[in-house]
Structure 1
Amino acid sequence: MASNNEREPDVDGEAGHGGVQSVDRALAVLEILARDGHAGVSDIAEEMGIHKSTVSRLLGSLVSREMVHQNSERGKYQLGFGILRLASSIPGRLSLVREARTVMEALADQFKETVNLAVLRSNYAVNVDQAMGPSTLATYDWVGSLTPLHATSSGKVLLAALSADDRDRILTETGLPARTPRTITNRKDLETELITVARDGYAVTREEFEIGINSMSVPVYSHLGTVIGAISISGPAFRFDPEKEPGLADGLKDAGLQVSARMGYTRR
């Protein structure tokens, strides 16, 4: 069956059904990269069940439009800046990114670690902007990455703000897969922690999403008082313990309220 699909006009022949199929496959490639962060030609071909040459042509077209970027060191592909240009056409998200930018840069400069802005998209937290601290060890670009809600500090903030029904739906659909040995995989334990997150106004993860990385996150509110995003700060576990970092919790909360105020939120 794969060979029959290969005879259809994929990227080079854009007529009729082949053109629609090419669009569908290109979107599937973007979804894989959004989910995994990066992937190689062979990985994508295996998951989609198509030939590597077809994947290469799809990636070539996406690269030419800056929707995808190839990492020169590892040869793998990741989402490109063209995706951000498309996302910026969404007024609400564009406004949130714009209003949060200077606040995030100030945070990164003050605490010398990486600061991210995330929003809820489907069943994931998607990072829409990032500011790097001057002493940041890692250089990974998290913008565009989809991260699990239960294993990240931003995700926990977004989960804690949902209604019980919405939270139950999402967690039922996604489950609680372990990303590391420290990931919370018990629903009752997670719900107990989310109560604490809602009470304290921040969430913390210690090596739950990635070994060696700790993070803390706070909510960003809209003019209606609903949570529309989360600002997080993360750093290497050997030097960064969020709850022991002097002034971090208060500084991060203040940053969240600054951005919220710019979005029209009036603190009650």
Structure 2
Amino acid sequence: MASDNFPGSDPDPDVDIAQAGGVQSVDRAMAILEILARDGNAGVSEIAEEMGIHKSTASRLLGSLVSREMVQQNSERGKYQLGFGILRLASSIPGRLSLVQEARPVLEALASEFKETVNLAVLRSNFAVNVDQAMGPSTLATYDWIGSLTPLHATSSGKVLLASLTADERDRILRETGLPARTLRTITSRKELETELLDVAHNGYATAIEEFEIGLCAIAVGIRNHLGVVIGAVSISGPAFRFDPTNKPGLVESLAQAGQLISSKMGYTGR
């Protein structure tokens, strides 16, 4: 007689049913967490109705989540919301996330779509430092920007990073670095720069039209972490004779989506 669950034995239908039920319970528990993350809070009836399950099932699942501190009940309103257990789990994620690793496929997709150079930059020692790059297919786009220190006031990534800082931190950096001219188009007026940074914050992107190098144009958007803090910038750059970031159809939208995608990979939820 075949023994239970050993190779060559007949499958136990009770085991299969139990496993299927367990998977379904996990799926439903995850759905509840997603509902609470989306809405902030919800009652048993609301959850049951959205998921198409009986109230007793929703109540049982919520009870399990409460016991694990994944969910907590608001004593005043009787509704449920995400609990501190979620925070404990989430707090272990950021330290394991690599911005370069998470951004890499997005950079490559942008480079392939627009056939130009895409860079990932972070703020280090008062400069925008390029930490990764995806090259477009053009033979003209061959410069390796990785490791390059670029001025914040004269580059699209730098402007995005500057616009995200507090006024005090931005003032400290600009007093230390000054606003040296890289080309005749470089912004060297603090007032003019501050005005442009307000536009960057409002529009969600920054451009640099031959401000860092003659013949080089670029556009960048910010990348946020799980706390909503800007931790980097992704930019697309190309030669001025063929790359006009303000007039290329779909560029701003695609770049914004790329920044949002990388941000979501870093834990940003948009709230």
With normalisation by structure 2, the TM-score equals: 0.64
How many residue pairs match? The answer is 178
2:228 to 220, 225, 228: 225
Provide Cα deviations, 1:81-109, integer angstroms capped at 9, x if missing partner.
xxxxxxxxxx8697000000000000000
In structure 2, C-alpha distance between the alignment counterparts of 1:93 and 1:142, rounded to whole Å: 26
Query: Aligned residue for 2:187?
Result: 184
Query: Aligned residue for 2:218?
Result: 215
The answer to whether residue 83 in structure 2 is matched with residue 101 in structure 1 is: no
With normalisation by structure 1, the TM-score equals: 0.65
- SS of the residue aligned with 2:246? helix
Letter in 2 for 1:168: D
Query: Aligned residue for 2:136?
Result: 133
Aligned pairs (5 A) from 1:109-148: 109-148=112-151
The answer to whether residue 240 in structure 2 is matched with residue 240 in structure 1 is: no
Query: CA separation of 1:192/1:93 partners in 2, compared to 1, >3 Å: closer, same or farther?
Result: farther
Q: Is the CA contact (8 Å cut-off) linking 2:129 and 2:150 kept in structure 1?
A: yes
Moved more, 132-141 or 174-183: 132-141
Q: Is the CA contact (8 Å cut-off) linking 1:213 and 1:235 kept in structure 2?
A: yes
Provide Cα deviations, 1:88-137, integer angstroms capped at 9, x if missing partner.
xxx86970000000000000000000000000001000000000011251
Structure 2 residues not aligned, in runs of 5+: 1-93
In structure 2, C-alpha distance between the alignment counterparts of 1:158 and 1:93, rounded to whole Å: 23
In structure 1, C-alpha distance between the alignment counterparts of 2:162 and 2:100, rounded to whole Å: 20
- SS of the residue aligned with 1:265? coil
- Could you say which structure has the larger radius of gyration? 2
Provide Cα deviations, 1:189-209, integer angstroms capped at 9, x if missing partner.
000000000000000010000
In structure 2, C-alpha distance between the alignment counterparts of 1:222 and 1:98, rounded to whole Å: 14
Aligned pairs (5 A) from 1:140-179: 140-179=143-182
- 1:258 to partner: Cα distance: 0.2
1:204 to 202, 207, 212: 207
Provide Cα deviations, 1:140-199, integer angstroms capped at 9, x if missing partner.
100000000000000000000000000000000000000001000000000000000000
In structure 2, C-alpha distance between the alignment counterparts of 1:138 and 1:243, rounded to whole Å: 19
In structure 2, C-alpha distance between the alignment counterparts of 1:103 and 1:231, rounded to whole Å: 10
In structure 2, C-alpha distance between the alignment counterparts of 1:125 and 1:93, rounded to whole Å: 23
Structure 1 residues not aligned, in runs of 5+: 1-90
In structure 2, C-alpha distance between the alignment counterparts of 1:92 and 1:248, rounded to whole Å: 32
In structure 2, C-alpha distance between the alignment counterparts of 1:233 and 1:257, rounded to whole Å: 15
4+ residue runs over 4 A deviation:
91-94
In structure 2, C-alpha distance between the alignment counterparts of 1:208 and 1:99, rounded to whole Å: 29
Letter in 1 for 2:140: L
Q: Is the CA contact (8 Å cut-off) linking 1:112 and 1:136 kept in structure 2?
A: no
In structure 2, C-alpha distance between the alignment counterparts of 1:92 and 1:215, rounded to whole Å: 31
Cα RMSD (Å): 1.3
- SS of the residue aligned with 2:182? coil
Letter in 1 for 2:206: A
Letter in 2 for 1:165: D
Query: CA separation of 1:132/1:153 partners in 2, compared to 1, >3 Å: closer, same or farther?
Result: same
- SS of the residue aligned with 2:218? strand
In structure 2, C-alpha distance between the alignment counterparts of 1:136 and 1:111, rounded to whole Å: 14
